[in-house]
Amino acid sequence: MRIRPAVVNLDHSLIREISDAHMGRDNLIALWFGEPDTPTPDFIKQAAMLALYDDHVFYAQNRGIPQLRQALSTYVSALHQRPIGIDRLTVTGSGMNAIMLATQALIDQGDNMVVVGPVWPNCRETVHVMGGETRVISLHADESGRWSLDLDELLAACDDRTRGIFVNSPGNPTGWVMPRAQQEELLIAARERGVFIVADEVYVRLAYDMAHAPSFLDIADDDDALIVINSFSKSWSMTGWRLGWLTHSPAMGEVFAKLNEFNIASPTTFVQHAGVVAITEGEEFVLSLVENYRRNRDLVFQRLAAMKRVRLSRPEAAFYAFFSVDGMTDSVAFAHDLIEKTGVGLAPGLAFGPEGEGWMRLCFAAEADTLSRAMDRLEPALS
C-alpha cells in the first residue's frame, strides 16, 4: 500500500515518547504535558449533561451552533474592545483542529509557512502533512534566558511561496509574549506582502502582568489576512472536551464551513452547548485560574532560578517554565535519566524543534504542593 511520503515522514512526538515510556510509574510526578490538573468546573459539566438530556446529540451547523458563535462574538468583542461579529467566527473541534484547518486553507504542495520557534511540534507538522515546508525562525535567549524575536530575520525568511507567518504568542514552550509594537510592524509587513498571519493565541488569557496578552485582534481590520486560533482547553480547563474556534475575515467563513464539513462535519453538539455556558458564566473561574498559575509561576521560578545548572527567565504568560541546563546536550536522554533519578517527568526541549535543544519544559499548571515536591526532587540533579 502506498501512503503519502509527507505523512509517512511526519516526526513522532518526543513528549509522547517520554510519557509512553514512563506513564504508570510508581510515585511519578508528571509535568510533561501542557495540561491543567484542575478538572473542568461543575457548572460546565452540568451544562453538558443537560444538553445531552435535552437531546442536543444531532448534527449541527458546520461553523458551530448559533448560540456559541453569538456567545463568542460577545466575549471576544469585549476582550479586544472592538466589534467582532459572528460572521468572523467558526467553531472547531479543538485548537489543534483549528491549526489544521488554517493550514489546509493556506498550504499547497511546495508552499512554505514561516514559523516562530521554539514551538509546539504540531504547529510545524500540519504544514508537512500538506506537503509544505516550515521555515523556523528562532527566538533568541539572552544571558538571563529572556526571549526576543528579530523581526527582520523573520521577514527575510519569506519569499514568493510563503503563504503564512505562524506566531504563537503567548508562546509554548517559552512563555514569550510578542510586544504590541512588533505585532503592529508585522501586520503592516504582511499586508504589503500579501501573506497571512496565523496567530495561535490559546494562552492569551493566561498572562500575569496584564488583563490579557497583546492580540492581533486588538489592532487588525476585519478584512485583514489574519487567522487567530483559540481554544477552550487552557482557560476553562477543558482539554479533553476538544473545542476551539477561529477568528478570521468574513470572506473566510465559507472556506472554513467547507473545511469543517470535510474534516468533522461539525464540532460535537452537546459540547458546544457546554461551551456557551463556559463563555457566559466562566469569567470568575478564568480569573481564579490565572491567579493560581501566577503563584505557581513564582514558586517554580524562585526554586529553579536558585539551582546552579539552570538558566531561565520569569515567564510572562502561559504555564510553562522553559529552562536550559548547563552541560546538557541531549534533552531526550536527559528527560529519561531525570525520571530514573528523580521521578519527575519533563518535556525535552528537542520536542519543540532543534532550536529547543539544551532546554527542558516544565508545566506548572498543577497543585502547589505537587510543584514543591517536584522542586525538592529536582534540586539535587540541577544544582
- Predicted local distance difference test score (pLDDT) of residue 12: 87
Ranges of CATH 3.90.1150.10 domains, the chain: 5-40+284-382
Instruction: Look at residue 123 and tell me whether its pLDDT is greater than 90.
Output: no
Ranges of CATH 3.40.640.10 domains, the chain: 59-280
Instruction: Look at residue 144 and tell me whether its pLDDT is greater than 90.
Output: no
Please provide the size of the chain in residues.
Answer: 383
Instruction: Look at residue 11 and tell me whether its pLDDT is greater than 90.
Output: no
Of the candidates 32, 38, 192, 60, which has an alpha carbon nearest to the alpha carbon of residue 120?
32
**Chain position carrying cell 528537542:** 350
- CATH for 5-40+284-382 is 3.90.1150.10
* Helix or strand (DSSP H, E) at 99: helix 95-106
- Predicted local distance difference test score (pLDDT) of residue 76: 98
Average pLDDT value for the chain: 96
- Predicted local distance difference test score (pLDDT) of residue 1: 80
- Predicted local distance difference test score (pLDDT) of residue 58: 97
pLDDT tens for 320-377 read: 999 999 999 999 999 999 999 999 999 999 999 999 999 999 999 999 999 999 999 9
DSSP per position, 35-53: --SSPPPHHHHHHHHHHHH
Of the candidates 255, 209, 276, which has an alpha carbon nearest to the alpha carbon of residue 48?
276
Q: What is the average pLDDT across 52-80?
A: 98
Instruction: Look at residue 209 and tell me whether its pLDDT is greater than 90.
Output: no
* Helix or strand (DSSP H, E) at 304: helix 283-305
CATH value of 59-280 in 3.40.50.2000, 3.30.300.30, 3.40.640.10, 3.40.1350.10: 3.40.640.10
Q: Under a CB-based contact definition with an 8 Å cutoff, are residues 102 and 96 in contact?
A: no
13 grid coordinates: 512526538
Q: For the stretch 129-163, what's the b/e string if a residue is b when 16 or more beta carbons lie within 10 angstroms of its beta carbon?
A: ebebebbbbbbebeeebebebebeebbeebeeebb
Cis upstream peptide for 214 (omega within 30°): no
Instruction: Look at residue 235 and tell me whether its pLDDT is greater than 90.
Output: yes
User: How buried is residue 77: exposed, middle or buried, by Cβ count under 10 Å (0-12/13-18/19+)?
Assistant: middle
- Predicted local distance difference test score (pLDDT) of residue 266: 94
DSSP per position, 120-148: -HHHHHHHHHTT-EEEEEE-EE-TT--EE
